[in-house]
Amino acid sequence: MFHYCASAQIVNPGADYVGLAYSSDVDDSIFIFTFFSSNTNPMTLKAKSMNNNPAEFKWYRFDNGSKTIEATPFRSDNGMESVVPASQGGYMVVIQTTEVADTFRAWVFDDHIAVDSVTYTQNCEYLQLTAHASSYRNNFSAYDYFDFCDLNNVRARYINNNYTVEWDSDTDIYEGLSNVPQTWKKRTNSMVTRISSANTPSDADRPLVPGLSAPLKDASYLVKITNVFGNVSEEYKTKTIPAMGLYAVFDVLVPDEYGVFVPTKTLSGEALWRMKLENKSVNADKFDWIGWNDQTVNFLQNDTLWRYDTEHIPDEINYKPGVYPVKLNVENTRTGCRHSSYALDAGGKRKDIEVAKSVFSAESLPNAFTPNGDGNNDFFIFVKGQEPVSMRIMDLKIVTRNSTLVYKYRGEVSAWEGWNGKMNGSGSDCSSGVYYYIIKGEGWDDKSYSGKSYTGVLHLYRGN
């Protein structure tokens, strides 16, 4: 790769990139001509006569030893233009016509970059890749610069190089993995760093995912290095690096309306709260599931509610009211790596399972209903949205003013379909009038509900 710094009247039409740079720091406008290694055009500088008249072209080199322009031209041409082969160094051309003599200046830099190898180190926490690179200029470090002279007055100049290193992966190391936090999913694209200025100046250091867990899939990694002019090394591909990352994660499944267990991030509800756990861990072969019966875990008080050492939990787990941490510990016995995770909410944060305490109130039942078969308010049943919470058993009696029993129910709250206004639920219609209900209940937390607060008046209207 070659870089040409030149005055505007010296050109190279075969260059891959041409751009003005550093013009404020020199007496002539300086242009950058960039050639990539794949460019088959000859490395040349071309000077043209400005007025399209025949001219004499005299080319001079800059002597790096004496820091002066050589007195004798190394080439002379006559005609409309002159083309000379280019190599690293400074150039000056004097163009003489019958009308005017002009002098133009240029610098050529040879900076072919190569990635020689990539080494890596990894443990359970991270993977770090190190690119070992070289340059034709043999000055591959964080403090590299292109030094040249302003040939108009032979003043020393320099351009900071600032090599950058860019990493990528040929594999999405998290593709298809469940519940991986977004912060872990940073791809390696456009991860740029300066060249290391450590003891070995040819090393370019870059952690792949700084501060995060190592990749979870085997992958090859790609690296390329770019200098200040935009010249890029050929992309170097590593061999496949075996993944050492370990990730513990699981889905919480609850029954849908058809009784099929499906994943959920809503880890709360009323008793009896039913769930199953599905293992989604990566690279693990040893498992330890723990469910506690108290949010403040105390091992000395035997807070462990259940425990499994299998990959999957085959049984359904039911919870009464309370707050329950659930944790999965995993290990890779080959590498010795370990990782743990609690149940996670939709944002990927820890979320303990919360089952509501039992609640029963008089507002749960209406004070009137009309069982006339019109499909509207035909049943004495819980007000929608105000049903008892986490209740297990309900003992309900409905009586007349003179305490005659007309209906009773004892059983699960969720199974009660309401009273249809008939004697014992299946006999003759009860007449319009005032009735009384008496409710005793028992919550899943073994809390009993009885007393005046659960006795109420009920109006039955038949209509015409």
Q: According to the 3-state scheme, what is the secondary structure of the chain?
A: CEEEEECCCEECCCCCEEEECCHHHCCCCCEEEEECCCCCCCCEEEEECCCCCCEEEEEEEEECCCCEECCCCCEEEEECEEEEECCCEEEEEEEECCCCEEEEEEEEEECCEEEEEEEEEECCCCEEEEEEEEECCCCCCCCCEEEEEECCCCEEEEEECCCEEEEEECCCCCCCCCCCCHHHHCCCCCEEEECCCCCCCCEEEEECCCCCCCCCCCECEEEEEECCCCCECCCEECCCECCCCCECCEEEEEECCCCCEEEECCCEEECCEEEEEEECCECCCEEEEEEECCCCCCHHHCCEEEEECCCCCCCCEEECCEEECEEEEEECCCCCCEEEEECECCCCCECCEEEECCECCHHHCCCEECCCCCCCCCCECCCCCCCCECEEEEEEEEECCCCCEEEEEEEEHHHCCCECCEHHHCCCECCCEEEEEEEEEEECCCCEECCHHHEEEEEECCCC
- Tens digit of pLDDT for each residue in 349-406? 889 999 888 877 777 889 999 998 888 999 999 988 888 888 888 889 999 999 999 9
| CATH code for the domain in which residue 34 is found | 2.60.40
Predicted confidence at residue 441, as pLDDT, reads: 80
Instruction: Kindly compute the dihedral angle of the four CA atoms of residues 404, 407, 412, 416, in this order, to the nearest 10 degrees.
Output: -150
Q: Indicate whether 9 and 121 sit together in one domain.
A: no
Q: Indicate whether 294 and 338 sit together in one domain.
A: yes
Pair of tokens at residue 175? 């593709």
Is 245 a member of any domain? no
Predicted confidence at residue 464, as pLDDT, reads: 57
Cα distance between residue 32 and residue 26, in whole Å: 14
Instruction: Please work out, in degrees rounded to the nearest 5, the angle formed at the alpha carbon of residue 247 by the alpha carbons of 242 and 253.
Output: 135
Q: Indicate whether 6 and 84 sit together in one domain.
A: yes
273: Cα within 13 Å, side-chain hemisphere: 24
Q: Indicate whether 185 and 131 sit together in one domain.
A: yes
Is 151 a member of any domain? no
Is 244 a member of any domain? no
Q: Indicate whether 262 and 344 sit together in one domain.
A: yes
Is 368 a member of any domain? yes
Q: With a cut of 70, list the residues of the chain below it in pLDDT.
A: 1-39, 110-111, 136-145, 151-154, 172-213, 294-302, 446-453, 464
Instruction: Tell if the pTM clears 0.95, that is, is over it.
Output: no
Q: Indicate whether 221 and 325 sit together in one domain.
A: no
Length of the chain, in residues: 464
Amino acid symbol at 303:
D
Q: Indicate whether 163 and 197 sit together in one domain.
A: yes
Q: Indicate whether 129 and 231 sit together in one domain.
A: yes
The contacts of residue 137 (CB under 8 Å, 6+ apart) are 109, 110, 111, 144
Q: Which residue has the tokens 């009273």?
A: 419
Residue range of the domain that includes 386: 362-460
Q: Indicate whether 444 and 371 sit together in one domain.
A: yes
Is 228 a member of any domain? yes
Q: Indicate whether 106 and 121 sit together in one domain.
A: no
Is 209 a member of any domain? yes
Q: Indicate whether 257 and 191 sit together in one domain.
A: no
CA 455 to chain centre: 56
Is 242 a member of any domain? no
Number of domains in the chain: 4
End-to-end CA separation in angstroms for the chain: 100
Asked if 71 contacts 92 with a C-beta cutoff of 8 angstroms, the reply is no
Show which of 340, 356, 372 is a domain's final residue.
356
Q: Of 27, 12, 6, 101, nearest to 58 (Cα)? A: 101
Pair of tokens at residue 172? 């999405």
Q: Is 179 left (phi over 0), alpha (psi -120 to 50) or beta?
A: left
Is 243 a member of any domain? no
Q: Indicate whether 171 and 232 sit together in one domain.
A: yes
Show which of 177, 207, 237 is a domain's final residue.
237
